[in-house]
């Protein structure tokens, strides 16, 4: 199994001149969609069967990706290209592998596990995961005709498998026409080979390769000899007249762009509930009620629920997000409403490991707004391991429950 290392910084990436840095000039074939990207090291010999990336059947560069199950689609996406847009830049990658990691790659949320070289372009070298957008594009770096390689196995006239490679757009189907005029539709395997398993075929045969846009290219196969490469009669073209509505992709935030952390519950972006997206309960030593409906509308009368908890000494309500969140230029302040069952002067608010801010609690709702830079000394990224803390100090527990509502990072536009 591929050794995935998504959560560690990339160290010592050297981009050699032979790497092809395909970018936004590639022909768009699909609309933008929200995605998430990580990186892995063991990029050679992926599930798509191309072998070494710069070998005879590989893409010829190291800007590649392993696709999550929802994108891999039983190997249907092998050899196709996607433009990935991250916080640091844009990179076109070729799908050469399937990403198997549970929790990341087996959900319905689109995920792309990139080579270190590709991730360095879109996410930098200091993180292991980032939110992205992506769209399907033509593999415009491809030159020459499409090609076919027979499986390196004991192939016969009644059983043989082959892989199609060096194609600019995706493949929809492959039929084989034998020398005596019989035609067979071939299934595509999870490992990206097309299988003939019938009565002995009369050679030579013709593989009719049809693109996902209906264009056909023929490849003549002289004999069922294993490990042989045959060149097709042409190359697929990228359609120019697709009716696309959203091809100008920008990298999304890993949290709600309006800044909401808690608003009738911990807020997830994109209306997608996934543990790696949005805000999560990181509390310790305290039982938190994230849906307390006892306050009758909360701080502003519009809330269905607020968050509450009784806090022993040196414990508190803690909120975090797994993915990087570089807040400068996007958010300015942390704002929230707070009250308690009784007045309490021992509460500390902190974007740990930033500045500890003593915050008085009264029995009526009070709004506070702290500048992330000058007041809180917030780290550059509010993602893991940074954590937002509402906690007691080291000497006193809270007298009864503390209630918090409408926790939000103030967007730059709202604070202007």
Q: pLDDT tens digits, residue range 172-214? A: 999 999 999 999 999 999 999 999 999 999 999 999 999 999 9
β-bridge partners, 184: 176
- Reply yes or no on whether the pLDDT at 292 is more than 70: yes
- Reply yes or no on whether the pLDDT at 70 is more than 60: yes
In angstroms, rounded to a whole number, what is the distance separating the alpha carbons of residues 397 and 386?
A: 24
H/E segment holding residue 261: strand 260-262
CATH 2.60.40.760-classified regions of the chain: 147-231
β-bridge partners, 235: none
In angstroms, rounded to a whole number, what is the distance separating the alpha carbons of residues 180 and 132?
A: 51
The mean pLDDT of 58-82, rounded to a whole number, is 95
Could you tell me the pLDDT band of residue 23, with boundaries at 50, 70 and 90?
Answer: very low
With a pLDDT cut of 90, the percent of the chain lying above it is: 69
In angstroms, rounded to a whole number, what is the distance separating the alpha carbons of residues 46 and 1?
A: 10
Summarize pLDDT for 325-370 with one digit per residue, the tens. 889 999 999 999 999 999 999 999 999 999 999 999 999 999 999 9
Please, where are the H alpha helices in 1-141?
69-72, 116-123
Q: Report the mean per-residue pLDDT for the chain.
A: 88
Tokens matching residue 82: 């996607």
Q: Which of the two residues, 109 and 93, has the higher pLDDT score?
A: 93
| pTM assigned to the model | 0.72
Task: Determine the pLDDT at residue 103.
Answer: 78
Task: Determine the pLDDT at residue 180.
Answer: 96
Architecture (CATH level 2) of domain 260-415 = Sandwich (2.60)
Summarize pLDDT for 134-179 with one digit per residue, the tens. 999 999 999 999 999 999 999 999 999 999 999 999 999 999 999 9
CATH 2.60.120.430-classified regions of the chain: 260-415
In angstroms, rounded to a whole number, what is the distance separating the alpha carbons of residues 63 and 18?
A: 11
Architecture (CATH level 2) of domain 147-231 = Sandwich (2.60)
- Reply yes or no on whether the pLDDT at 230 is more than 90: yes
- Reply yes or no on whether the pLDDT at 110 is more than 50: yes
């Amino acid at each position: 199994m591929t050794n995935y290392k998504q959560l560690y910084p990339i160290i010592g990436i050297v981009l050699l001149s032979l790497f092809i840095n395909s970018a936004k000039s590639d022909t768009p074939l699909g609309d933008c969609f929200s995605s998430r990207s990580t990186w892995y090291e063991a990029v050679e010999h992926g599930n798509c069967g191309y072998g070494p990336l710069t070998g005879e059947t590989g893409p010829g560069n190291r800007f590649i990706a392993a696709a999550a199950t929802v994108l891999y689609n039983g190997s249907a996406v092998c050899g196709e290209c996607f433009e990935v847009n991250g916080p640091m830049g844009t990179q076109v990658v070729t799908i050469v592998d399937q990403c198997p990691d549970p929790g990341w790659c087996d959900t319905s949320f689109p995920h792309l596990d990139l080579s270190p070289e590709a991730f360095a372009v879109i996410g930098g070298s200091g993180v292991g995961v980032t939110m992205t957008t992506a769209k399907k594009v033509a593999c415009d770096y491809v030159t020459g005709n499409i090609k076919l390689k027979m499986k390196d196995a004991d192939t016969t006239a009644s059983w043989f498998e082959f892989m199609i490679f060096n194609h600019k757009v995706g493949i929809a189907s492959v039929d084989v026409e034998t020398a005596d005029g019989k035609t067979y539709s071939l299934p595509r395997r999870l490992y990206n080979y097309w299988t003939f398993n019938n009565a002995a075929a009369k050679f030579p045969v013709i593989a009719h390769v049809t693109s996902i846009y209906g264009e056909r290219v023929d490849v003549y196969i002289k004999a069922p000899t294993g490990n042989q490469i045959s060149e097709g009669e042409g190359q697929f073209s990228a359609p120019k007249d697709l009716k696309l509505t959203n091809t100008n992709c920008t990298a999304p935030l890993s949290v709600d762009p309006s800044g909401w952390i808690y608003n009738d519950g911990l807020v997830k972006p994109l209306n997608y509930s996934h543990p790696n997206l949005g805000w999560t309960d990181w509390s310790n030593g305290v039982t938190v009620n994230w849906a307390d409906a006892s306050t009758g509308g909360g701080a502003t009368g519009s809330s269905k629920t607020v968050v509450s908890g009784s806090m022993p000494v040196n414990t508190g309500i803690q909120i975090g997000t797994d993915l990087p969140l570089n807040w400068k230029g996007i958010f300015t302040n942390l704002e929230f409403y707070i009250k308690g069952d009784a007045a309490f002067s021992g509460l500390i608010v902190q974007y740990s490991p930033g500045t500890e801010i003593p915050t008085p609690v009264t029995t009526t709702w009070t709004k506070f707004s702290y500048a992330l830079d000058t007041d809180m000394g917030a780290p550059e990224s509010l993602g893991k391991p940074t954590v937002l803390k509402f906690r007691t100090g080291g000497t006193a527990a809270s007298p009864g429950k503390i209630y918090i509502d409408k926790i939000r990072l103030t967007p730059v536009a709202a604070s202007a």
